[in-house]
């Protein structure tokens, strides 16, 4: 597994200190394995214990969130914020509201975020947060009550130059609005302390679309450079039907592809004529319903119970945009056998480590999450710039910047992968390209 005794020791120590945190261990293993060539080439990393410091969050906050539901009953949830690494800028990373959220999930997302933010080339450190609160089935008033209670604790840990959270699973424009409303009530400040804000109160155009659009810009550049291909006439399968999936579908379609399947945690829909995105938006964005309801609008589409088998559909391009570990080795083998040419990740760590390694060894394009889905946080960085300057850029301006950033991220990861000897290993390329900047900043800042 490891060639370097030093890297192995760092990993073994992390496992011993964080037992039962499987997602965190998985993310750390994936990153540490691929950093080995750099560690062997640069002895100052070991000498200054950079890896030990890199995997240990600067700060981890856990707190109680008590709120009152519509029946007048008190509910208690657990809130988290990990402030992982601030060597290149203020902590930055989303908030996830989902019943599966725990310390392991938050730390894996935080660690990934450090490298992702570095790859954007913007000055942003890494953080992540959230709660085990389940927004599903809650009334609008309950969502507001929860968000207000959550921010009543979180506000003391964040700030426009300290830590700037955004959305993630279960946290979209509505939740960011309630969170920001409460921050302003407490602090009496109109500042860029959250991103993903509404356009009427400091948000940026393109932020809603950014992760999905950015994923397609990254994929398009990879297709062009690595396979002399494009999205034109390609059959695409997208998992999920949330923020990332919807805007990935929109951009892929506008680039000439046909998206034939999308899913939610209950199952997937297959529409051989191409997904009607207006219907998906109506179901998911307006009514907050289930993907199965697509059949009420498009009667000849098919619905299959259980989301996992979506990867059995024959396609040219697969864009996993739902959640972690949704694509295992078996699914990876099926995709490759069916002739997929590109698998690019909109979700965070959607492929298991075995699946990722299989893609890399198969000679297909594998776009790892921290590179391929960095468009969301990159546009959040652009929102921060606009907030600081008290300016609003046009849609075209932000979109052009997003495109540049994604093309640049691809080339950084690809050039590093080529330098390492395997142009298909964009995972190692992205990890090392992202890590180098953080490492150099940590060395320059001295021990902290
Ligand atoms: P949303 O909450 O908007 O949507 C998540 C979607 O995934 C929902 O449709 C959900 O369905 C579905 N889903 C959850 N679990 C499964 C499953 N096991 N199989 C199939 N579908 C499932 O979240 P986002 O779109 O914002 O986030 C999706 C992923 O993208 C996450 O991994 C997130 O960390 C990552 N990401 C998001 C960014 C952003 O800007 N929003 C930025 C970078 C990464 P259901 O309604 O049934 O739960």
The per-residue pLDDT for 448 is 87
pLDDT in tens, 293-308: 999 999 999 999 999 9
* 99, 100, 130, 168: residue to mutate for ligand 1 pocket, most atoms within 8 A of CB: 168
Rounded-to-integer distance, Cα 127 and Cα 114, Å: 7
Asked whether the predicted pLDDT for residue 226 surpasses 90, the reply is: yes
The model's pTM: 0.97
Query: If one looks up domain 210-367 in CATH, what number appears?
Result: 3.40.50.720
The per-residue pLDDT for 333 is 98
Matching CATH number, 59-190, of 3.40.50.2300, 3.40.50.300, 2.40.50.320, 3.40.50.10860: 3.40.50.10860
User: How many Å lie between the centroid of ligand 1 and the Cα of residue 322?
Assistant: 4
The per-residue pLDDT for 119 is 98
| CB of residue 431 inside a 6 A radius of ligand 1 | no
Which residue's CA lies nearest to atom 46 of ligand 1? 264
The per-residue pLDDT for 106 is 98
* Partners of 59 in the β-ladder: 83
| CB of residue 243 inside a 6 A radius of ligand 1 | yes
The per-residue pLDDT for 171 is 98
| CB of residue 326 inside a 6 A radius of ligand 1 | yes
Which residue's CA lies nearest to atom 35 of ligand 1? 347
Asked whether the predicted pLDDT for residue 15 surpasses 90, the reply is: yes
Tell me the average pLDDT of the chain: 98
Contact residues for 363 (Cβ-Cβ < 8 A; gap 6+): 424
411-420 CB contacts, 8 Å cutoff, 24+ apart: 411/221, 411/225, 412/119, 413/119, 413/368, 413/371, 414/222, 414/225, 414/226, 420/37
| CB of residue 265 inside a 6 A radius of ligand 1 | yes
Return the biggest CA–CA distance within the chain: 64
User: How many Å lie between the centroid of ligand 1 and the Cα of residue 169?
Assistant: 5
pLDDT range class, residue 82, cuts 50, 70, 90:
very high
DSSP H or E segment with residue 74: strand 74-85
The per-residue pLDDT for 194 is 98
User: How many Å lie between the centroid of ligand 1 and the Cα of residue 297?
Assistant: 23
pLDDT in tens, 110-158: 999 999 999 999 999 999 999 999 999 999 999 999 999 999 999 999 9
User: How many Å lie between the centroid of ligand 1 and the Cα of residue 415?
Assistant: 30
Please identify which residue in the block is written with the tokens 């690809």.
Answer: 414
User: How many Å lie between the centroid of ligand 1 and the Cα of residue 445?
Assistant: 36
Asked whether the predicted pLDDT for residue 242 surpasses 90, the reply is: yes
Question: Is residue 191 classed exposed, middle or buried when 0-12, 13-18 and 19+ CB atoms within 10 A define those classes?
Answer: middle
Say how many residues make up the chain.
Answer: 448
**What residues does CATH 3.40.50.720 cover in the chain?**
210-367
pLDDT in tens, 399-432: 999 999 999 999 999 999 999 999 999 999 999 9
Report, as residue numbers or ranges, the catalytic residues: 128
Q: What is each CA distance from 99 to 96, 118, 268, in whole angstroms?
A: 10, 29, 21
Indicate which atom in ligand 1 lies nearest the CA of residue 96: 34
Asked whether the predicted pLDDT for residue 1 surpasses 90, the reply is: no
Which residue's CA lies nearest to atom 36 of ligand 1? 347
Which residue's CA lies nearest to atom 30 of ligand 1? 347
Which residue's CA lies nearest to atom 48 of ligand 1? 265
**What residues does CATH 3.40.50.10860 cover in the chain?**
59-190
| CB of residue 127 inside a 6 A radius of ligand 1 | no
pLDDT in tens, 371-406: 999 999 999 999 999 999 999 999 999 999 999 999
């Amino acid at each position: 597994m490891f060639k370097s005794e030093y890297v192995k020791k760092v990993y073994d120590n992390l496992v011993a200190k964080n037992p039962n945190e499987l997602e965190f261990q998985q993310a750390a293993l994936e990153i540490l394995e691929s950093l080995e060539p750099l560690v062997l080439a640069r002895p100052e990393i070991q000498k200054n214990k950079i890896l030990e410091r890199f995997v240990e969050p600067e700060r981890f906050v856990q707190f109680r969130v008590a709120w009152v539901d519509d029946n007048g009953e008190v509910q208690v949830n657990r809130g988290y914020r990990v402030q992982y690494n601030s060597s290149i800028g203020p902590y930055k990373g989303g908030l996830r509201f989902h019943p599966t959220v725990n310390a392991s999930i938050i730390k894996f997302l935080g660690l990934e975020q450090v490298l992702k933010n570095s790859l954007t080339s913007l000055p942003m450190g890494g953080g992540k947060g959230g709660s085990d609160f389940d927004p599903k089935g809650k009334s609008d008033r309950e969502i507001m009550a929860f968000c207000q209670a959550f921010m009543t604790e979180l506000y003391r840990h964040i700030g426009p130059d300290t830590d700037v959270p955004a959305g993630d699973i279960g946290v979209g424009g509505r939740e960011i609005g309630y969170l920001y409303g409460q921050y302003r009530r407490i602090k009496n400040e109109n500042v860029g302390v959250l991103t993903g804000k509404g356009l009427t109160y400091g948000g940026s155009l393109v932020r809603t679309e950014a992760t999905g659009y950015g994923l397609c810009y990254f994929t398009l550049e990879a297709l062009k450079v690595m396979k002399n291909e494009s999205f034109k006439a390609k059959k695409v399968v997208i998992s999920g039907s949330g923020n990332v999936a919807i805007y990935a579908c929109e951009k892929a379609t506008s680039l000439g592809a046909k998206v034939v399947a999308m899913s939610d945690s209950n199952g997937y829909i297959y529409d051989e004529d191409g997904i009607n995105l207006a219907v998906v938006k109506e179901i998911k964005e307006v009514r907050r319903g289930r993907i199965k309801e697509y059949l009420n609008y498009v009667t000849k589409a098919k619905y299959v119970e259980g989301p996992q088998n979506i990867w059995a559909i024959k396609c040219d391009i697969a864009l996993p945009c739902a959640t972690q570990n949704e694509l295992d080795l078996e699914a990876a083998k099926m995709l490759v056998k069916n002739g997929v040419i590109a698998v690019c990740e909109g979700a965070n760590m959607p492929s298991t480590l075995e699946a990722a390694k299989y893609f890399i060894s198969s000679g297909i394009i594998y776009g790892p999450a921290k590179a391929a889905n960095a468009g969301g946080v990159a546009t959040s960085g652009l929102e921060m710039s606009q907030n600081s300057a008290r300016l609003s850029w046009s849609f075209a301006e932000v979109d052009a910047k997003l495109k540049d950033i994604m093309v640049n991220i691809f080339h950084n990861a690809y050039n590093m992968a080529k330098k390492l000897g395997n142009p298909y290993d964009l995972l190692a390329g992205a990890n090392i390209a992202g890590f180098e900047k953080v490492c150099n900043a940590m060395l320059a800042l001295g021990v902290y």
